[in-house]
Amino acid sequence: MQVYGEHAPVLNKSFPGALLMSKKLGLVLGSGAARGWAHVGVLRGLKKIGVEPDIIAGCSVGALVGGAHLIGALEALEAWARELSPVSAFQRFDLKVKRGGFIDVSSAFNAFAEYDRNIEDLPVTFGAVAADLGTGEEVSITSGSVIEAVRASSAIPVAFHAIKKDGRWLADGALANPAPVSLARDLGADIVISVDLNGVPKVLDRFKPSTTTLPAPIESPPPPEPGLSGAVTRLIEDTRKAISLQMEMAKARASAAPRLFETAFAAADIFQMHLARARAAAEPPDIWIKPDMRDAMPTAFDRADEFIEEGERALNAARADIERLLEE
C-alpha cells in the first residue's frame, strides 16, 4: 500500500476506514462464473479488517466483480444477479449465433452503463486479462472503459460473443491466466493475494474407486421369532435392509456413466485447476486463497449467500498471514 510520512499508516481517503501502508497490496480475483459470488465475500472480509487493495487484477467473473466494486456498481450487480436462476441466467440474454458464440450479453452490460468509468480514473489501479483468439496470447487490459474490459475478460468461448478491441478478437481470460498474479505484479503490487475459485475443482467424486467398491452381499436371515428374540431379529433385519439399500446405491453409482454436462463442467474445472496451479508455480502469490467451491456449478447464481459466506470464510482463514505481511 502507499506510504505517507515515515511509513506511518494513514486513512485511505478513497475508502474511509481502510489503512494505507508502505507496501502496495494487489488483489487477484480469478475466474469461476457463478462462483464469483465468493469474491464478494472476500471483498467484504477485507473491508471488515480495514484493508483495501491498491491494485485489483481480475479474470472473467473476477474482473466483473472487481470492476463493479471499483465503479460503485457492485450492489446493483448483486441485486440483478440474485434474480437469476440456472435457467433464467440464459433467458435474460439474446440468442444470436455470431462472433464465435450464441449468447449476446450486451443487454446485461448496458443495464450498468451509467456506472461505467475509464480505468485510468478509478481510485484503485485495475486490470483485466483476456485471451486473443488470433494469437492465443494473454492480453492485459489496463485502460479504457471498465465495462468493455470486463466484457472481454468474461467472454466465455462458444457461449458468449467474442469482443473486438484494438483490432483483436478477445475471449475469456481464463483460457490463458485464470488467476492473473503476473498482472498484479506488473501493475506494481508488492504483496499479492490471489483468490483462486478453481483451486478445489469439481471432480466427479462418485467415480472414485473408493466409492464404487461394494461389500460382500448379506444373506437374508430366517423369519423373526415372537418375543424378545424376535425383536432383536427384526432390528438385525432392519439394519440388514439399510445396509442393502446403501449397497444398491453404491452399485448404481458404480454402474453409472458420466453425464454430458457434468463431464463438461468437471473437465473445465480440471483444466482450470492445472492451468492455475502451473501459473501459480511460475508466478506465486504471497497468499493463495482457495475457497472450497467443489460443490458449486458454474450456473448456480441462486446460491449467492453460501458462496459469499465461503469467500469471507476463506479470507478470514488467511487474515493473520495478510496482517503479518502488511506489517513487515
Q: Above 60 in pLDDT, residue 10?
A: no
Q: Residue 293's pLDDT is what?
A: 84
Q: Above 60 in pLDDT, residue 94?
A: no
Region of poorest pLDDT, from 14-18, 137-141, 233-237: 14-18
Three-state DSSP at 214 gives coil
Q: Residue 17's pLDDT is what?
A: 44
Backbone angles phi, psi at 44, to 5 degrees: -65, -40
DSSP, res 220 = P
Q: What is the H or E stretch that residue 314 is in?
A: helix 304-317
Backbone angles phi, psi at 132, to 5 degrees: -85, 115
Under a CB-based contact definition with an 8 Å cutoff, are residues 150 and 67 in contact?
Answer: yes
Helix 61-70 to helix 146-153 angle, to the nearest 10 degrees?
Answer: 170
Q: Residue 211's pLDDT is what?
A: 46
For the stretch 118-140, pLDDT in tens is 999 999 999 999 999 999 999 99
For the stretch 210-228, pLDDT in tens is 544 444 444 455 555 555 5
Q: Which of 168, 167, 183 is nearest to 129 (CA)?
A: 183
Q: What is the H or E stretch that residue 89 is in?
A: helix 88-91
Q: Quick check: pTM over 0.85?
A: no
Q: Residue 249's pLDDT is what?
A: 59
Beta strands 25-29 and 55-59, pairing class: parallel
Active site residues: 60, 172
Under a CB-based contact definition with an 8 Å cutoff, are residues 206 and 199 in contact?
Answer: no
Percent of the chain with pLDDT over 90: 45
Under a CB-based contact definition with an 8 Å cutoff, are residues 155 and 98 in contact?
Answer: no
Residue given cell 461505467 in the structure block: 116
